[in-house]
């Protein structure tokens, strides 16, 4: 039986309450946790946005979103009616009249935990924080949640962190990276630090290299404006891929306390070897998709989807990263992410070194690999060499020890936002990024962006529906390595 950690009644105010994130993720996440009996009935969820909308209209909008995100056999009008009693709406123009803020303030109980969730453009974060202060809505029991992206480079991230920090203490600030809320990502820590098996092997002594891939088959999905100003490096590497890298490479924290974990993660980020002018050409590949085929269907090019043929924004990036510390010196960590690739998959591949003295011919069986699939079919596979039974000589085969989640747990997979929202309500910061983490990640990423600006090398292209540009395969080939190829069917 799952054991739920209780949550005290809370007030949640969602800025950008009618927006895409609120409708697709936040409201359904809250509804699911309500169905799991985790949200006390006297909690309040207040949406706020510029739209003039009544409470009933907001509830209707929320119902449509929650219903479409809920399995048919789980939906119940009765449950919905109870949940809807917690919902409210308050129209608000941030720079607008004082009465808007007064109205919002009147809907919040300041004698309990108050969560402000900023699901708005980051350019509004500092303004909202100062407006909250001016409206006398900031108290010790307040927490503020910031969605990514926190800035578009180190300078803008510092400006946001400084501005928000003028109103809230660091312990009140929850910077979201939704990958940290995914079940399989949390399992990375358990796998590493709860099994005796791996620690002795987890270093340059036994690991040849590591690959982290987050590939998507989706394209712009209506986010052209944001994405074109960002690109794959800022949108995915600066946050999700570097957070995965931290969890894979960090030293064991002293405890699961937020600051113990975050202190170990920041050490990894600070030990990343800078990739700048000289090394950017050799250690990075950036590319944009051109037209191709996805699941047999013609797919447009990025420029066509965008409706602007002058954009040079990268939709794919591959990087050879290195961590300059005792544990990882000389072990490359290859990162790869892209849109409109052949399949949606996020996985970490840890490739072990060959045995010191090989008495068999293992040329056909490949190396030992630990493949941790984060999505879509969560699982852990450890490839082992065995003797193929039967006559016909000594044949060695590589077979996986397979820990597929679906076969072992009959659970509904909670969306990452469910856990993250509940952790904010509980006041647990361990799944959120500390200021110094965000800034260290930008420092490394800014070096690459500057290197690209100075480089004379043109961005590459790849066909939509492929595994990225040839240059990315060549980057591996130069090191006598290859990207891991998934053999499981697409799901
Ligand atoms: C977001 C990016 O942070 O993560 C999107 O902005 C990307 O571009 C998304 O599609 C991927 O998240 P997930 O959970 O679908 O892997």
Number of domains in the chain: 2
Clarify whether residues 328 and 444 are in a common domain.
yes
Clarify whether residues 297 and 346 are in a common domain.
yes
Residue 410 pLDDT > 70: no
- Residue 366, helix vs strand vs coil: coil
Q: What CATH number is associated with residue 385?
A: 3.30.360.10
Among 216, 302, 348, 378, residue to substitute to test ligand 1 (most atoms within 8 Å of Cβ)? 216
Residues in the chain, how many?
Answer: 491
Q: What are the C-alpha distances in Å from 71 to residues 29, 75, 81, 274, 413?
A: 13, 6, 17, 46, 12
At 143, is the pLDDT very low, low, confident or very high (cuts 50, 70, 90)? Answer: very high
Domain-ending residue, one of 123, 147, 171:
147
pLDDT tens by residue, 422-456:
999 999 999 999 999 999 999 999 999 999 999 88
Q: Which atom of ligand 1 is nearest to the CA of 375?
A: 16
Clarify whether residues 256 and 113 are in a common domain.
no
Q: What are phi and psi of 27, to 5 degrees?
A: -65, -45
With respect to residue 3, please indicate whether it lies within any of the assigned structural domains.
no
Structure-block tokens of residue 165? 């920090």
Clarify whether residues 185 and 226 are in a common domain.
yes
Q: Which of 413, 378, 423, 374 is nearest to 4 (CA)?
A: 423
Among 240, 317, 338, 346, residue to substitute to test ligand 1 (most atoms within 8 Å of Cβ)? 240
With respect to residue 115, please indicate whether it lies within any of the assigned structural domains.
yes
Clarify whether residues 327 and 220 are in a common domain.
yes
> Ligand 1 within 6 A of 235 CB?
yes
pLDDT tens by residue, 282-318:
999 999 999 999 888 999 999 999 999 999 999 999 9
Which helix (H) or strand (E) element contains residue 90? strand 87-91
With respect to residue 164, please indicate whether it lies within any of the assigned structural domains.
no
Clarify whether residues 292 and 407 are in a common domain.
yes
Enumerate residues 6+ apart whose C-beta is below 8 A from 46.
11, 12, 13, 14, 17, 87, 88, 89, 90, 104, 107, 108
- Mean local confidence (pLDDT), 361-383: 85
- Per-residue confidence (pLDDT) for residue 378, from 0 to 100: 86
With respect to residue 154, please indicate whether it lies within any of the assigned structural domains.
no
> Ligand 1 within 6 A of 216 CB?
yes
pLDDT tens by residue, 331-353:
999 999 999 999 999 999 999 99
Range of the domain at 132: 10-147
Rounded-to-integer distance, Cα 245 and Cα 268, Å: 8
Clarify whether residues 409 and 293 are in a common domain.
yes
Clarify whether residues 87 and 189 are in a common domain.
no
Check if 240 is active-site.
yes
With respect to residue 325, please indicate whether it lies within any of the assigned structural domains.
yes
- Per-residue confidence (pLDDT) for residue 489, from 0 to 100: 59
pLDDT tens by residue, 217-260:
999 888 898 999 999 999 999 999 999 999 999 999 999 999 99
With respect to residue 382, please indicate whether it lies within any of the assigned structural domains.
yes
> Ligand 1 within 6 A of 415 CB?
no
Given the residues 240, 257, 357, 385, select the one marked as catalytic: 240
Clarify whether residues 188 and 326 are in a common domain.
yes
pLDDT tens by residue, 172-199:
999 999 999 998 898 999 999 999 999 8
Residue 426 vs residue 393, higher pLDDT: 426
Clarify whether residues 240 and 307 are in a common domain.
yes
With respect to residue 428, please indicate whether it lies within any of the assigned structural domains.
no
pLDDT tens by residue, 192-227:
999 999 989 999 999 999 999 999 999 988 889 899
Q: What CATH number is associated with residue 132?
A: 3.40.50.720
């Amino acid at each position: 039986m799952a054991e739920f950690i209780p949550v005290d009644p809370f007030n949640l105010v969602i800025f950008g309450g009618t927006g895409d994130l609120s409708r697709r993720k936040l409201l359904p996440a809250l509804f699911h946790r309500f169905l799991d009996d985790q949200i006390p009935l006297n909690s309040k969820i207040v949406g706020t946005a510029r739209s003039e909308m009544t409470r009933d209209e907001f509830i209707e909008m929320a119902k449509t979103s929650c219903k479409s995100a809920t399995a048919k056999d789980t939906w119940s009008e009765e449950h919905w009616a109870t949940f809807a009693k917690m919902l409210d709406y308050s129209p608000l123009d941030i720079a607008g009249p004082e009465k808007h803020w007064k109205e919002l303030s009147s809907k919040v109980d300041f004698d309990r935990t108050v969560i402000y969730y900023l699901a708005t453009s980051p350019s509004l974060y500092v303004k909202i924080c100062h407006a909250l202060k001016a409206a006398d809505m900031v108290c010790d029991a307040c927490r503020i949640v910031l969605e990514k992206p926190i800035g578009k480079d180190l300078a803008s991230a510092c400006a946001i962190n400084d501005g928000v920090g003028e109103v809230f203490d660091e312990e009140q600030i929850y910077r979201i990276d939704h990958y940290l809320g995914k079940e399989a990502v949390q399992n990375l820590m358990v796998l590493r630090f709860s099994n005796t098996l791996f620690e002795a092997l987890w270093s340059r002594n036994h690991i040849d290299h590591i690959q982290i891939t987050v590939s998507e088959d989706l394209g712009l999905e209506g986010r052209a404006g944001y994405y074109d100003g960002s690109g794959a490096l800022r949108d995915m590497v600066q946050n999700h891929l570097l957070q995965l890298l931290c969890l894979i490479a960090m030293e064991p924290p002293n405890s699961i306390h937020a600051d113990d974990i975050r202190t170990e993660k920041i050490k990894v980020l600070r030990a990343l070897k800078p990739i700048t002018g000289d090394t950017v050409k050799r250690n990075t590949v950036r590319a944009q998709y051109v037209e191709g085929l996805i699941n047999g269907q013609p797919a447009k090019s990025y420029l066509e989807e965008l409706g602007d043929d002058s954009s040079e924004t990268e939709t794919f990036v591959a990087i050879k990263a290195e961590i300059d510390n005792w544990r990882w010196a000389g072990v490359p960590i290859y990162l790869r992410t892209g849109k409109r690739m052949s399949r949606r998959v996020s996985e970490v591949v840890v490739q072990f070194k060959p045995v010191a003295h090989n008495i068999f011919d293992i040329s056909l069986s490949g190396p030992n690999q630990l493949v941790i699939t984060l999505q879509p079919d969560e699982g852990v596979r450890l490839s082992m060499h065995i003797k193929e039974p039967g006559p016909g000589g000594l044949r060695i085969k590589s077979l996986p020890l397979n820990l597929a989640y679906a076969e072992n747990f009959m659970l509904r997979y909670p969306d990452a936002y469910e856990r993250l929202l509940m952790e904010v309500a509980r006041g647990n910061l361990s799944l959120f990024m500390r200021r110094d983490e965000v800034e260290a990640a930008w420092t490394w990423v800014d070096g690459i962006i500057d290197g690209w600006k100075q480089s004379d090398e043109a961005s590459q292209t790849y066909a939509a529906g492929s595994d990225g540009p040839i240059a990315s395969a060549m980057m591996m080939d130069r090191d006598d390595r290859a990207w891991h190829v998934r053999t499981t069917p697409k799901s």
